[in-house]
Chains A and B, each alone.
Chain A
Amino acid sequence: MTAALYAEWTKLRTVAGPFWLVALAAVLTTALSAAAAGAVTCAGAGCGVDAPMVALTGVQLGQAVVAVLAVMVVGDEYRTGMIRTTLAATPSRAVLLGAKSVVVAGATLAAAVPGVLGAWLAGRLIMPGRGFTAAHGYAPLSLTDGGTLRAFAGAALYLTLVALLSLGIAAAVRDAPTGVGVVLGVLYLAPILVAVVSDPDWERRLRQIMPSDAGSAILHTIDLPALPIGPWPGLGVLALWSAGALLLGGLLLRLRDA
């Protein structure tokens, strides 16, 4: 496992693509967060805006880049045919996928941590000027606040789990563009479905089981009891999706000809 891990790390760092994607994910996460923080206003006390969540809007965009990063780790090997060399070097599919998961998770965290910290900084600097003041019941975003910390740390975990989900799907479909299409389809489907389904029971159930919706429960800091699923259980649902995707990808990797 250590050797396979070392090999995957060498692979990742010896081409420029992943580096740029990590940088892009961090920058876009921060940029969209800053834009959202600048767009939202709080007119008065009790305006009901979840300030940390606004400051984490960029996660919606960052997840697309992270998905590309994770999908490429597998997709590039199939595109070039290098997967055969890889499997000849590491015949155990489980070990290989495990090593790739660790490397992808690491790379994603390398993007997510600065991206999320940037989002926090943007929110902290911009939002007080948009009415999120002490007078309206908002303290500046602080990572020492339990809920805020959960949201921001959770955002990094959310992105990591999205990357693992993408990795599993990529291993299953073996083609990078198709993999990205499937991942983004799954991630962006939920909000659209929720928008058209008006039956509250359906909506609640959808929000409980769709990976992006359930997973983003971790980003909420207010009105938690009203959420269809709690922050940590929600993240758990996403983790189950990721685990399922990796399991499927690993199984297909084992069963299919390379």
Chain B
Amino acid sequence: MIGLIRAELTKFRSVRGWLIGCGIAAVLMVLLAVVAAAGTDARVGGPGARGALPRASDGTPVLDGFTFLQQPLDGDGTLTVRVPSLTGVALRPPTPGDSVPDEQEQATPEPWAKAGLIIKAGTTSGSAYTAVMVTGSHGVRMQHDFIHDLAGPTDARWLRLVRSGGTVTAYASSDGAAWTTVGSAPLATGAMSAGIFVATPPHQEYEQFLGGTSVIGGGAIATGTFDNLTAAGIGAGGDWNLVSVGADDSPNRPESTSTRNGDTFVLRGGGDIAPVDGGTGPKLEQLLSGGFMALTVLAVLGVLFVTTEFRRGMVRTTFAATPSRVRVLAAKSVVLGAVTFAVGLVASTAALLVGTAIRGSNHYPADALTQVRIVVGTAALIAVATVLALAIGTILRRGAGAVAAVVVLITLPYILSAAAVLPAATADWVLRITPAAAFAVQQTVPEWPQVDQAYTPAFGFFPLPAWGGFAVLCGWTAVALVIAAALLRRRDA
């Protein structure tokens, strides 16, 4: 087998056009990275362009802005409140001369409007916290460190936070008597702020139509009503103090207000405590979009690697030298896969480096491990796709048809899905079953259950996890190889 692999490697490298093809693939990939980087609009800007955003403990950029009615809490304590009502509604775009934006009629409340209890290390944006809240349509949640989200009962209106030593535990109840534990999280000891809060992310509507997507966004305002507020451990006689946390983060945020009527508090305000929405800004993987071009070029090579043998009758020489045709196919696959993986690796690395050099880090952050995953994943995707091309070339024995089949199988589903031609649900299915699923290896933006955004291919979200999508491509390739091997054995050379 080693001899066979060396023979195929010699065949590959002795055709100058194929080596040039490898070079063209790499150059195209870098070229597209340059275009993608240079064509990034700084005004649309990602998290970087919005100034220094606070980060969660794992580095995820987060939003931390909300309306906070608080008092100091220096040690252990227990807060309890009932939230009889929470509404979150979108605001009409402000018209000139209007000081107060209109609230729009809205049938369903903003799904992630939040109102509840929070204990936070001070009132600066980005500080550690633990909170329990009712939401617009996601029931009671306990959240901490921005990225952690635990679901509680859906119909509870009573909330309780208990701070004890370095731990905060959240409870929920529908009647204020029988309490269920939602969860607990560590929180440093020492002086903190504690109280009630409201927040709601901006109103967003994602519309996907042929040839594009639109994100209709606008300010939103949450109105939370609180009563039965008790706060054990907070200095007696202290005044509840309104703070608009992180007021500068989002300029369209409505003003925070608080009114007290006896024991009933009404808080109004916008903002959110959650990871930022990564779907709309620049993303790191856009620098690797040249993978399509590289893949197309290398797929041509993969097809030619086998069809030229049939065309010239050289295949008879090959089979005379190695009567086991399956071994020949295996050797060809190994050589082609290895060579194109190497080309892909060099090209992806170069594309990422060059693109980043031009664009800077103005994109949704990706840690080192993610960067390695998208580079290696892209190279692996290109390699396996090229082997798929080889298998289809063997099956069809017609170069032109095989190239078209490969490109149509891999690129067209991606275009139809990601360029928002297909509706999101259909696009998701297309990207589950076609080889284009493998482009999931390039996704850098995580999906957050506690953030409402369009997790659709058009915004860079794939329905399958990275290696799951890659497995789909591998499955296609394996099936194609098996068919190719069977046909090779059966057909006359």
The answer to whether A and B assemble together is: yes
Listed in ascending order, the chain A residues whose CB lies under 8 Å from chain B are 36, 39-41, 48-50, 53-54, 57, 60-61, 64-65, 67-68, 71-72, 75, 79, 175-181, 184-185, 188-189, 191-200, 202-203, 216, 220
Alpha-carbon separation in the docked complex, A50 to B423 (Å): 13
From the candidates A41, A64, A203, name the one contacting B423 in the complex (CB within 8 A): A41
For the complex formed, measure the closest distance between the CB of A219 and the CB atoms of chain B, giving whole angstroms. Answer: 9
Which residues of B are found within 8 Å of A185, using beta-carbon distances? 293, 296-297, 407
Asked whether, in the complex, the Cβ of B403 is within 8 Å of the Cβ of A181, the reply is yes
- List the A side residues contacting B484 at CB < 8 Å: none
* B40-A198 in contact (CB<8A): yes
Q: Could you say which residues of chain A place their CB within 8 Å of the CB of B155?
A: none
Q: How far is the CA of A248 from the CA of B388 in the complex (A)?
A: 32
Chain A contacts for B404, CB-based, 8 A: 64-65, 67-68, 180, 184
Mostly, the A contact residues are: helix
Which residues of B are at the interface with A, using a C-beta cutoff of 8 A? 32, 35-36, 38-41, 44, 207, 209-211, 282, 286, 289, 292-293, 296-297, 299-300, 303-304, 307, 311, 398-404, 407-408, 411-412, 414-416, 418-419, 421-423, 425-426
A60 to B413, CA, bound (A): 10
Alpha-carbon gap, A199 to B423, bound state (A) = 25
Verify B289–A193 contact, CB threshold 8 A: yes
* Chain A residue nearest to B427 in the complex (CB): A39
What are some 10 contacts across the A-B interface (CB < 8 A)? Answer: A60-B412, A60-B421, A64-B407, A72-B400, A177-B399, A178-B304, A185-B293, A195-B419, A196-B289, A197-B40
Of B41, B209, B425, the residue contacting A48 (CB under 8 A) is B209
Contact, CB under 8 Å: A199 / B293: no
A194 to B211, CA, bound (A): 10
Give the chain B neighbours of A181 by CB distance below 8 A.
Answer: 296-297, 299-300, 403, 407
Contact A199-B300, Cβ < 8 Å, known A60-B416, A189-B292, A189-B293: no
Are B412's CB and A188's CB within 8 A?
yes
Given A60-B421, A177-B403, A202 and B415 contact (CB-CB distance below 8 Å): no
> Do A193 and B35 contact each other (CB < 8 Å), given the known contacts A60-B415, A198-B40?
yes
Assembled-state Cα–Cα distance A184/B296 (Å): 8
Contact check, B210 vs A197: say whether CB atoms are below 8 A apart: no
Q: How far is the CA of A54 from the CA of B211 in the complex (A)?
A: 10
* Chain A residues within 8 Å of B307, by CB: 177
Closest 10 CB pairs of A and B: A177-B399, A197-B39, A181-B300, A176-B400, A199-B41, A196-B286, A202-B39, A39-B426, A196-B36, A191-B419
